[in-house]
Amino acid sequence: MSDIPLPLSGTPMTLPTLVELAVSRTPDQLALVEQEQRYTYAQLYSQVCAQGNALSEAGVAPGERVITVLPTSAAHALLLLAIFQIGAVAVPINPRLKPDEVAYCIEHAQARAVCFESRTAPVVLEAVRKLAASWRPRLLAVGGEISAPEVTPLDVLARQTRRERPAVTIASTDLSLILYTSGTTGRPKGVTITHAASVARVMGLALNHGLTALADLRVLGLMPLFHTVGLHGVFLTALVLNGTYYPLAEFQPARALQLIQDAQIDYLFGSPTHFHVLLSHPASQEMDLSSLKHVLYAGAPMPTPLLLQCSQRLCSNLTHIYGNTETYNSLFYRHAAEAPQALVPGVYHRVRVVSIGGAPEDEVPAEVEGELIVDTHSPESFSGYWRNPAATARCVRDGWYYTGDVCLRDRAGHFFIVGRVDDMIISGAENIHPAEVEEALLSHPGVGDAGVVGVADPHWGQRVVAFIERRDPALTAEELDRHCQQHPTLATFKRPRQYVFVEKLPRNPSSKLLRFLLREQAAQSSAVSERELRP
């Protein structure tokens, strides 16, 4: 397209630069599809420029933070690009947060504007009422008007403004994003990510997984846009490689399966929970899912039986991604079913396994468990926690990010995540990792989901307690105990001594198990199983 100014020699690689290059390559290719809404790359760019100029006219200057409280949608995707386009900092947060949580993010980010829709308006308006009088962000409605005098419809501003490229200069070292960690305890931390890091996250994942540009990639947006995977690994990957992005506001398995078949989706990134639900749904037997060519998962280890099932029923090109919001894709493994749970360093990463609590030089030998640390000189790495230097200093030491994950490196150079440092159970002086017990439990056909924690025990120090979502309503603690005793890889002393049967395990938006809630429930319960199972 001749009217799109291309970057000049020496122009820093930023997200707007990558978007403009993609638009210039395929202006008429479909970029974004959500039900009846369809945007070509040229139409997307026009809308992004209009919204960017509207944000500027609403008082948002380069470097200022804009919070979005929106579901995963075409409107949200366009808005994030518009924020990047004017050099502002996007702060997408979970639209399911409560007013106190939203108020904390607004105040902590010192947001200049908050963008939301009618469904999230009650929470946002209540959150704003909780803010100190000294901080009042501009309130902007997306996708329609909201009947509150302090709210301005962004769409109206965008229709009235110009559609030329915003006249701003953005450096690669400028912040593109602040992503608040969903966390498992305490206040969330704001992970700061520069434009250079955002670009590296898109490129690094593409290199690790073997993706190519201009390959007609059709990408399903299961992962939320307030998460680094949903934003960098799904939406921006689709856009930068000139693919087509199909966002889903809510995870409805029947709808997702139908869309895979109808749109011939070939790129699918989800959590193990997503894949468990998809393959358990009756519609998965009826749908043609053969279009899938690239399937990736992250968020938690995938139980080996589910991993093999995904490889057989969805796609053999199944990639295991390990990472976090801070350092992104530090470990991965393509064709994961060939070496379940194995990982190798990503193309932009250097990692070490050190003694737990040790310095970066305290590497442990192969086959010895330690803590995984990641070199923050990686171009994908975060720049620290927003307005929280103490938290940054706790997690980053001598240029290495301490993940808190227990890891083992074998003699062939493969890495295996075996649990969390804080989650390790010490029972009878033996170390037990919840993940290995959970995998054994999940191999039972009557188990839908499992979560394992350690609770205080006067004799053993800690005892193993398992929380179970039943697939078979008749499943008993005795049956599970027999299963664990007969399991080929689970040592008998590691098996649970108590069981709690629950309707649903608590998980955060990234599908990570909230073990602290399970510990609280186990500690408060005096009769958590049909009977206590002694060694």
| pLDDT for residue 530 | 39
Contact of 483 with 456, CB cutoff 8 Å: no
The DSSP H or E segment spanning 145 is none
Q: pLDDT by residue (tens digit) across 419-437?
A: 888 888 888 777 888 988 9
Is residue 10 scored above 80 in pLDDT? Answer: no
pLDDT at 187: 84
Q: Tell me the sheet residues that pair with 40.
A: 30
Determine whether 488 is exposed, middle or buried from the number of CB atoms within 10 Å of its CB (0-12, 13-18, 19+). exposed
Task: Count the neighbouring beta carbons within 10 Å of the beta carbon of residue 427.
Answer: 19
What is the mean predicted confidence (pLDDT) over 141-156? Answer: 92
CB-based contacts of 191, cutoff 8 Å, min separation 6:
177, 178, 179, 180, 181, 228, 325, 326, 382, 385, 386
Assign 535 a pLDDT band (cuts: 50, 70, 90): very low
Can you tell me the distance from the alpha carbon of 183 to that of 105, in angstroms, rounded to the nearest whole number?
13
pTM over 0.85: yes
Phi/psi zone of residue 455: left (φ > 0), alpha (ψ -120 to 50 degrees), beta?
Answer: beta
| Contact present, 159 and 170 (Cβ < 8 Å) | no
- Higher confidence at residue 520 or residue 451? 451
Which residue segments constitute the domains of the chain, with CATH numbers given?
Answer: 40-194 (3.40.50.980), 251-420 (3.40.50.12780), 425-524 (3.30.300.30)
Model confidence pLDDT, tens digit, residues 206-254? 999 999 999 999 999 999 999 999 999 999 999 999 999 999 999 999 9
pLDDT score recorded for residue 438 = 92
Residues 6+ positions from 237 with CB-CB distance below 8 Å: 202, 205, 206, 211, 217, 219, 243, 267
What confidence tier does 526 reach under pLDDT thresholds 50, 70, 90? very low
Q: What is the pLDDT of residues 168-211, one digit of tens each?
A: 999 999 999 999 986 555 689 999 999 999 999 999 999 999 99
